[in-house]
């Protein structure tokens, strides 16, 4: 007999070789409570995996991250089996679970189209109805190589060649066999709600030099109600997709002639970005940051000193007059050289340098995604150089600043992570522990809930990461605050201390938005393109009913522009209804309609996206209302 300790500390005795399913029965837990897999001493296992000794056992359902992963991974195996039944020549690549779903990559002669998905889904439904057991088997690596070579599964053979160890695991369901670590559901019949979503191309192993495979995306939930809700939210996300709204609202565009991942800002997008940049400049200046600018290229030796060259960072390099240069992937070295431009004393610290610096990184074309993943982007990049004694206050202020800005843009819910020392780190452990404790103290001092990501700090210091929750419940990477023990030493940075001796300053990397491109993409989707008034590229559109009303419209425009309001007049000779419809489509917050009555009275009619519909409005009152609404968002508390 062995002792099995459950999550509630209950101990159950069962014969050695019993499975988690047997323990379920022995403990009197109904099997229909939706248990997906189990954890044995922290290891995720199938419910029919034999228990070899005393252990801690926890049952996981679909509501746990590991449970969802196993559930959707099982669905990917069902999809792969369905594809193999329909297209026997299909070769299997990989099929993992991912956030909100799963995918599988195939190589086959038949070019899949959306019209093929219903047939694949129908075959998947048959496999679920067959309730095929998923059985796990440990076999030698040589047996596995022979198995997949004989079945012509070259991609599996390649994967096996890279696996270390003498044994591997395979899973079988019916006549379908796949190389897989698992765990999985006990049978295909336990899958409840499946949906195939889309098709895409994917390079084998993400390598653009390798062959392109066909990828099928799907999702799976343990109830049809959850699936329906997910599909509803997905449809809403598609409506908000910044890649669609951006061109429609004249915000940005991409052009093959210019190059992938390189953003062109159209007029409205340039206005939006300028508003954000001006806001950031003002808020940084109010907090003692000094605005700096740095060149886009620097000599190769700079990147050797920083370590980017040795780390094979995804940079672009070229030569001028036989001298190697690199296009900057970050702004840190330039700020260091500004610091080093003269001797610094302790009384000058902290020194806070801020730049809206455009950087370039050689991202693979397969990962580019609208504004969210580009090759050229601008960071609201700041570096704080201070003493270790000053670091606590600087970190506290940086965290406060970051959250004030995020709330100013309309975000109110966050996930905060404290990332600690990784295995490969520089500096001494005492420095790391002190820096980590300073970050922890700052978070707790502001009563911020956070999780600890053990070992996820960057090699040069611990960090704080903040993710933003948007209107659809999705989380996006936001502000970061990072300690750095590495660069100050590599670049031999010093300051004269009160003891007249040289000391090395602490360097804190900090962003409040991150990439402006990514943040604009997030904002577009957060607001579905209908920005709050202070951010809207065009805040008011004046719609004259006829040509004779244009002079009055121009007079109103001039009065609004003199108050700093972004306004335009639609001079097109078309029906007023069409003008209103176009203004709605462009998400203009306010529309002012002028006709004979308005010209005669000197007053205006106002409509808004928020539902305002008012007539006989005094122009001065309307301008004052707009100004108050705009000014209320133009600065934050310090």
Using DSSP bridges, classify how beta strands 252-253 and 463-469 pair: parallel, antiparallel or unpaired: unpaired
Out of 77, 361, 549, 568, the active site residue is 361
Encoded tokens for 223: 């109830």
Out of 55, 180, 332, 386, the active site residue is 332
Query: What whole-number distance in Å separates Cα of residue 250 and Cα of residue 586?
Result: 9
Out of 77, 195, 335, 383, the active site residue is 383
What is the number of other CB atoms lying within 10 angstroms of the CB of residue 341? 8
Distances (CA, A) of 388 to 434, 484, 601: 9, 11, 67
Query: What whole-number distance in Å separates Cα of residue 557 and Cα of residue 555?
Result: 5
Out of 381, 397, 465, 484, the active site residue is 381
Query: What whole-number distance in Å separates Cα of residue 431 and Cα of residue 283?
Result: 31
Out of 81, 173, 214, 379, the active site residue is 379
Active site residue 633: no
**Omega into 183 within 30° of 0, i.e. cis?**
yes
Out of 84, 190, 242, 463, the active site residue is 463
Active site residue 383: yes
Encoded tokens for 559: 């009065």
Name the DSSP letter for residue 100: T
Query: What whole-number distance in Å separates Cα of residue 267 and Cα of residue 452?
Result: 43
Active site residue 166: no
Query: What whole-number distance in Å separates Cα of residue 605 and Cα of residue 595?
Result: 9
* Angle formed by the axes of helices 550-561 and 619-631, nearest 10°: 40
Query: What whole-number distance in Å separates Cα of residue 292 and Cα of residue 289?
Result: 9
Encoded tokens for 59: 């049952």
Give Cα 10 to chain centroid, integer Å: 40
What is the number of other CB atoms lying within 10 angstroms of the CB of residue 149? 13
Distances (CA, A) of 269 to 120, 242, 406, 524, 626: 42, 12, 20, 11, 21
- Which residues share a beta bridge with 75? none
| H or E stretch at 219 | strand 212-221
Question: What's the first-to-final CA gap in the chain, in angstroms?
Answer: 65
**Which residue matches tokens 């067959």?**
130
Out of 195, 240, 421, 509, the active site residue is 509
Active site residue 332: yes
Closest Cα partner for 217 from 72, 91, 109, 110? 72
Residue 271: helix, strand or coil by DSSP?
A: helix
Active site residue 547: no
Backbone angles phi, psi at 421, to 5 degrees: -60, 125
Residue 523: helix, strand or coil by DSSP?
A: helix
Active site residue 342: no
Backbone angles phi, psi at 400, to 5 degrees: -60, -45
Backbone angles phi, psi at 4, to 5 degrees: -115, 120
Encoded tokens for 432: 């790391």
- Contacts with 103 (C-beta within 8 Å, 6 or more apart), sequence order: 76, 95, 96, 215, 216, 217, 218
Residue 285: helix, strand or coil by DSSP?
A: helix
Active site residue 56: no
- Which residues share a beta bridge with 477? 467
Query: What whole-number distance in Å separates Cα of residue 131 and Cα of residue 185?
Result: 11
Residue environment code for 218-244, b if the CB has 16+ CB neighbours within 10 A, otherwise e: bbbbbeeeebeebeeebeeeeebebbe
| Catalytic sites, residue numbers | 332, 361, 379, 381, 383, 463, 509
């Amino acid at each position: 007999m062995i002792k099995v300790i459950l999550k509630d500390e209950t101990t159950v005795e069962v014969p050695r070789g019993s499975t988690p399913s047997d323990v379920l029965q022995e403990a009197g837990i109904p099997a229909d409570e939706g248990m997906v897999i189990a954890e044995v001493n922290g290891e995720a296992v199938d419910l029919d995996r034999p228990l070899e000794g005393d252990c801690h056992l926890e049952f996981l359902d679909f509501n746990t991250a590991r449970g969802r992963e196993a559930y959707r991974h099982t669905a990917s195996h069902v999809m792969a089996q369905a594809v193999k039944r329909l297209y026997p020549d299909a070769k299997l690549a990989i099929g993992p679970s991912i956030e909100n779903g799963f995918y599988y990559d195939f190589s086959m002669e038949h070019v899949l189209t959306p019209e093929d998905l219903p047939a694949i889904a129908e075959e998947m439904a048959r496999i679920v109805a067959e309730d095929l057991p998923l059985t796990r088997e440990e076999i030698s690596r040589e047996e596995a190589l022979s198995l997949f070579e004989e079945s012509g599964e070259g991609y599996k053979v390649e994967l096996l060649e890279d696996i270390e160890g003498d044994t591997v695991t395979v899973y079988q369901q019916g006549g379908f066999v796949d190389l897989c670590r698992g765990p999985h559901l006990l049978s295909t019949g336990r899958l409840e709600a499946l949906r195939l979503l889309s098709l895409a191309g994917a390079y084998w192993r993400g390598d653009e030099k390798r062959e392109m495979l066909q990828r099928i995306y799907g999702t799976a939930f343990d109830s049809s109600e959850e699936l329906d809700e997910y599909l509803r939210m997905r449809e809403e996300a598609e409506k908000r997709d910044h890649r669609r709204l951006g061109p429609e609202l004249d915000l940005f565009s991409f052009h093959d002639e210019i190059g992938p991942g390189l953003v062109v800002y159209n007029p409205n997008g340039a206005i939006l970005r300028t508003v954000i940049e001006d806001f950031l400049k003002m808020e940084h200046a109010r907090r003692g940051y000094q605005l700096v600018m740095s060149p886009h290229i620097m000599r190769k030796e700079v990147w050797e000193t920083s370590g980017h060259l040795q780390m094979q960072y995804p940079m672009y390099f070229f030569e001028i007059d036989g001298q190697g240069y690199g296009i900057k992937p970050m702004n840190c070295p330039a700020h260091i050289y500004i610091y080093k431009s003269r001797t610094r004393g302790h009384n000058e610290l902290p020194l806070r340098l801020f730049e809206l610096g455009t950087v370039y990184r050689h991202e693979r074309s397969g990962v580019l995604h609208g504004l969210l993943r580009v090759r050229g982007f601008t960071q609201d990049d700041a570096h704080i150089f201070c003493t270790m004694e000053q670091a606590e206050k600087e970190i506290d202020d940086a965290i406060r600043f970051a959250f004030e800005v995020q709330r100013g843009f309309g975000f109110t819910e966050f996930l905060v992570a404290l990332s600690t020392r990784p295995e490969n780190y520089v500096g001494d452990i005492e420095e790391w522990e002190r820096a980590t404790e300073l970050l922890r103290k700052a978070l707790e001092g502001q009563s911020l809930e956070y999780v600890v990501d053990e070992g996820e700090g960057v090699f040069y210091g611990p960090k704080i990461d903040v993710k933003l929750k948007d209107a659809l419940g999705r989380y996006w990477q936001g502000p970061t605050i990072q300690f750095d023990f590495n660069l100050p030493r590599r670049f031999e940075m010093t300051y004269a201390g009160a003891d007249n001796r040289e000391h090395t300053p602490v360097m804190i990397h900090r962003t409040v938005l991150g990439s402006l491109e990514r943040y604009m993409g997030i904002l577009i989707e957060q607001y579905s393109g209908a920005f709050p008034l202070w951010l809207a590229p065009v805040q008011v559109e004046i719609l004259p009913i006829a040509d004779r009303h244009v002079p009055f419209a121009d007079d109103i425009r001039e009065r609004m522009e003199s108050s700093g309001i972004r306004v335009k007049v639609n001079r097109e000779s078309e029906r007023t209804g069409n003008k209103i419809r176009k203004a709605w489509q462009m998400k203009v917050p306010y529309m002012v309609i002028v006709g004979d009555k308005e010209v005669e009275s000197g007053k205006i009619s106002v409509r808004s996206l928020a539902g305002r519909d008012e007539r006989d409005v005094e122009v001065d009152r309307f301008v004052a209302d707009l100004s108050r609404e705009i000014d209320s968002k133009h600065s934050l508390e310090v």
